[in-house]
Amino acid sequence: MDLSLLRPLLFRALTLFGVLITVLVLLAVSLGATGFSDKILQATVGEELRALRTSLTQTIRDPDQLEAALEARRQELLASYGLDQPWYARIPGMVWRVLTLDLGEARNLRSYDGSSRIADIVLERLPNTVLLLTTATVITAVIGILAGVWMSTRVGSRLDRFVAYLAAVSYAVPTWWLGILLVLVLAFELELLPPGGMYSAPPPEGAFARFLDLLWHSVLPVLTLVLASVGPSIYSIRTLTLNIAQEDHVAVARAKGMPEPVVRNRHILRVAAPPIVTGLILGLAGSLGGSILVETIFDWRGMGRLYYDAIAGTPDEGLIVALTFMFTLLYVIARLVLEVLYVWLDPRVRYEGGP
Amino acid sequence: MRLDLRTVLRELWATGAGRAGLLLFGLLALAALWVVLTFPRDFGPRRWSNPALWGDYPKAAPPAWTNLLGPRRPEHRILETRAPAREDGKLKVYELAFDFQGRQPPTFLSFSLADVTYRSGPPTVEAVLIRPDGGEVPLFRTVISGPFPGEAPPYRRHQDEPLRVALDSDPNAVEATYGYLLEQEPGVDYDAVQRQLPLALFGRWVDGGLVPLEGRYRLEARVRVEDPGDRVGRVRFVAGGAVYGAMGTDAQGRDLAQGLLFGLPIALLIGLAVATLSTLLGTALGLVSGYAGGRTDLLIQRAADVVNNVPVLPLLIFMVFVLGARLWLILLVLVLFSWPGLTILVRSMVLSLRTSPEVEAARALGASRGRIIVHHVFPHIAPFIFATLIFSAPSAILAEAGLSFLGLGDPTLPTWGQILEQGFRTGAVYLGYWWWILPPGLLIVLTAIAFMLISLGLEPIVNPRLRRGQ
């Protein structure tokens, strides 16, 4: 790759890193300024002291001595959690801890091997979310490109109008409600597909059978995500291709007698590729949000379902902070991947003086 | 190009999508207005989230009109009277009559009275069912609680909390019904009567089993009073059905039609308020950024860049979780995260307008910055901004619904998202309670589509090249 391409990439990476830090600071400030973080930390300290009191009563008989020992431990704990400082003094430490994935302990939820470390729980769920999201995005992109390009040769047909309406309606239908409908119809009325979960109970033996089972369970959530975004995707790619197909250089290529596939691949699609990637970038935030709710519906054991579980019952603040950060991180990483793709596809990119 | 509201509306009406959108929106707005005028302001906490109020309703009953499509199930009946039908000195008789048809008896029976006032001695109440065959079954009798020490007349009882008896499980009612049926037909099985009391009350013992007896039934509440001025304000008899109303009920027996209606003005408010505020903010920042230039421009554009790149839903979840689930807060957060797109667009429009002859002329004439922005820049982008406003409304409605679905909705204001959330949490999806799941989602879609159609119809106004014949 040309070295001059690294500069714009670096610039984007810096912006996205700025986003990450901004979000983190925002999280820290809203936790601190509302007294929320004090409340959480005080509760943690209280819990530790209660546990300590129970164990100390076994060894220390004198009540005064016991109280003194507890008080000393309390001061130690307050200092270690930074509760002896005002909340704004704790922000840098907090941001640093989250950045290094030192996310604390979860209240009730556990990882599958029983760990209560939030980092363990979240990291165990992360691949499931990534799997769901990338599968859906790739399928949407492939259908979008194939159908969009094909549709651009049939502008004005009945199918074309149908896609236009589908795209408009897609903006109006909540993805998660669509998921519920699919469960209601395909899983319960027709009993074609499993209504939720990632594996059958009990899961089948053997790696390949397990994989097939996972695939089987992923059909509905992936279908939901694809259905929600495929309409707008096809429509925008169709419009993009159509606009480029009307440009002079395409007419020249045709006039030179180039075969149609070459015109389409080299002169239309090659030019349309960067804006198609831009479309994917823009759709990413939406599908990320959609995946949180779709995971909830389908009991897909990813980070989105974890959000739902962390909010329900006794809310788990530490987990919610960690998830918000992880989702932002995931978004930033996905954006970076797409930016690299974009720069690779469109060598004209130069960010002199910003966008 | 100057556009007033009348021209915009006329142009909108001229397009198919615009007309459909205006009609749909008008319909929704009228219904919302009716709800605002007739529903109490505190509908959420006082009625919707008050389980005591929904005790007389069937639980998880499909809409009444499903009877037209499938097997007939008993309809829900709430009979109520506020004045005695007959008075005979100290005896006041409240009468509730209804026709019983069909094969299935009511699913439950409940009798309640409220708002009792007496002066000297407490009244006695007796509930009697009079059957089409002329028989009388005394179901229940009680004495209203007497005066407390130190209490002065008139004594008021059951003002807020009605005196309620579940007749279908009341042992007295079982005994009375068994006794009555035994007089008619020897060999009645006590266990059968106890098990199927509603059927026994509305039926006969024939060939070793209970069969329904169709006809006109009357329930009399005989109130014996000490003082002729004593009265019972409300007598109610509920014959529980398996279907209810236009939209059915949820697992707590709440009338879904009411909840769905109440959600309508809230959804419109969310859509319009967020769209208006974020459009105002985005436009103002875009105008300032484009026209002021320099450091202000850089600052606003950097901020827009960052905010534009934040995934909104996770942050929204976080903010609402930390700051509390209140509607205005949800709206505020939505506004704060939805301005950057418009700001970037408006800025680029302003940049190209800045060098237009019109602005140069105005500047040459000595017009102030503010005047140029208001009179020579803004009018050119106004139609575009109006279209953006309409276009952005659905996303706010969808965002609130998603948040409510995660359990972060404002608990004092029932919204469609919350109804869906309760349905999902209670397992309505798995139990096949479609009437609980489909309508709220459909209403969200319908409201969003109304906005979408209007914004489609606005396209030719915003983009004059699309205007027909020009």
Task: Please provide the DSSP assignment of A276-314 as one string.
Answer: HHHHHHHHHHHHHHHHHHHHHHHT-TTHHHHHHHHHSSS
Spatial separation of the C-alpha atoms in residues B242 and B59, rounded to whole Å: 8
Spatial separation of the C-alpha atoms in residues A140 and A223, rounded to whole Å: 10
Spatial separation of the C-alpha atoms in residues B74 and B53, rounded to whole Å: 22
Neighbours of A353 (CB within 10 A): 5
CA B376 to each of CA A246, B342, B354, B373: distance values in angstroms, whole numbers, following the listed order = 35, 19, 9, 6
Neighbours of B342 (CB within 10 A): 24
Task: Please provide the DSSP assignment of B98-160 as one string.
Answer: EEE-SSSPPS-EEEEEEEEEESSSPPEEEEEEE-TTS-EEEEEEEE---PPTTPPSSEEE-SS
Quick check: A320 contacting B, CB < 8 Å? Answer: yes
Triad B423, B426, B431: Cα angle to 5°: 85
As given in the structure block, the two tokens for residue B214 are 């169709």
- What are the tens digits of pLDDT across the range A49-84? 888 888 887 777 788 888 888 888 888 888 877 777
So what's the pLDDT on residue B273? 95
Interface mutation vs chain B, best among A288, A324, A332, most B CBs within 10 Å: A324
Local structure of residue A180 (DSSP, 8 states): H
Cα-to-chain-centroid distance, residue B427: 20
Please choose, from the candidates B36, B13, B48, the residue with its C-alpha nearest in 3D space to the C-alpha of residue B416.
B48
Residues 6+ apart with CB under 8 A from B196: B105, B210
Residues 6+ apart with CB under 8 A from A24: A95, A98, A99, A325, A328
As beta bridge partners, residue B96 has B219
Spatial separation of the C-alpha atoms in residues B360 and B367, rounded to whole Å: 10
| Cβ within 8 Å, pair A308-B309 | no
CA nearest A331 in B: which residue? B311
Spatial separation of the C-alpha atoms in residues B81 and B234, rounded to whole Å: 6
Spatial separation of the C-alpha atoms in residues B142 and A267, rounded to whole Å: 90
Residue with tokens 């529903």: B39
Residue with tokens 């554009």: B301
Contacts of A180 in chain B (CB under 8 A): 420, 424, 429, 437, 441
CA nearest A12 in B: which residue? B305
Judge contact between B466 and B459, C-beta under 8 A.
Answer: yes
So what's the pLDDT on residue A221? 93
Q: What is the dihedral of CA B180, B182, B188, B194, to 10 degrees?
A: 30
Q: What is the mean pLDDT of residues A289-305?
A: 88
As beta bridge partners, residue B386 has none
Smallest Cβ distance to B437: which of A34, A184, A311? A184
As beta bridge partners, residue B467 has none
Triad B57, A180, B39: Cα angle to 5°: 40
Q: Three-class SS of residue A355?
A: coil
- Domains observed in chain B: 5-48+255-468 (1.10.3720.10), 77-239 (2.60.120)
Q: What is the mean pLDDT of residues A187-202?
A: 82
**pTM score:** 0.83
Q: What proportion of chain A, given as a percentage, has pLDDT over 70?
A: 96
| Cβ within 8 Å, pair B424-A297 | yes
Local structure of residue B218 (DSSP, 8 states): E
Quick check: B314 contacting A, CB < 8 Å? Answer: yes
As beta bridge partners, residue B224 has B91, B124
pLDDT tens for chain B, 470 residues long, are: 456 778 888 888 888 888 999 999 999 999 999 999 999 888 888 888 888 788 888 888 888 888 888 777 788 888 888 888 888 888 889 988 888 887 788 888 888 888 888 888 888 998 898 988 888 888 888 888 888 888 887 888 888 778 888 887 788 888 888 888 888 888 888 888 888 888 888 888 888 888 888 888 888 889 888 888 888 888 888 888 888 888 888 888 899 999 999 999 999 999 999 999 999 999 999 998 988 888 888 889 888 888 887 888 888 888 888 888 888 988 998 998 889 889 988 998 888 888 888 888 998 898 888 888 888 888 888 888 888 898 889 989 999 999 999 888 888 888 999 999 999 888 888 888 889 999 999 999 999 999 988 988 887 777 665 544 33
Q: What is the mean pLDDT of residues A23-43?
A: 80
So what's the pLDDT on residue B283? 93
Q: Three-class SS of residue B97?
A: strand
So what's the pLDDT on residue B449? 92
Range 265-304 of A in CB contact (< 8 A) with B: 285, 288-289, 292-293, 296-297
Helical axes B294-308 vs B256-292, angle rounded to 10°: 150
Gap from B93 CA to chain A (nearest CA, Å):
50
Task: Please provide the DSSP assignment of B46-68 as one string.
Answer: IIIT-GGGGTTSPTTPPPGGGGG
Residue with tokens 């202000």: B296
Contacts of B439 in chain A (CB under 8 A): none
Quick check: B436 contacting A, CB < 8 Å? Answer: no
| Cβ within 8 Å, pair A22-B312 | no
| Torsions phi, psi for B168 (to 5 deg) | -75, -10
Interface mutation vs chain A, best among B313, B326, B446, most A CBs within 10 Å: B313
Spatial separation of the C-alpha atoms in residues A195 and B153, rounded to whole Å: 62
Range 177-216 of A in CB contact (< 8 A) with B: 177, 180-181, 183-184, 188-189, 195
So what's the pLDDT on residue A351? 47
So what's the pLDDT on residue A11? 78
So what's the pLDDT on residue B2? 53
Whether pLDDT at A4 is above 70: no
So what's the pLDDT on residue A5? 66
| Cβ within 8 Å, pair A288-B408 | no
- What are the tens digits of pLDDT across the range A211-238? 888 888 899 999 999 998 888 889 888 8
Contacts of B314 in chain A (CB under 8 A): 288-289, 292, 307, 323-324, 327-328
Range 367-406 of B in CB contact (< 8 A) with A: 394-395, 398, 401-402, 405-406
Spatial separation of the C-alpha atoms in residues A184 and A17, rounded to whole Å: 42
Confidence of residue A165 (pLDDT cuts 50, 70, 90): confident
Ranges assigned E (strand) in B209-322: 209-212, 215-224, 231-239
Q: What is the dihedral of CA B432, B60, B325, B414, to 10 degrees?
A: 110
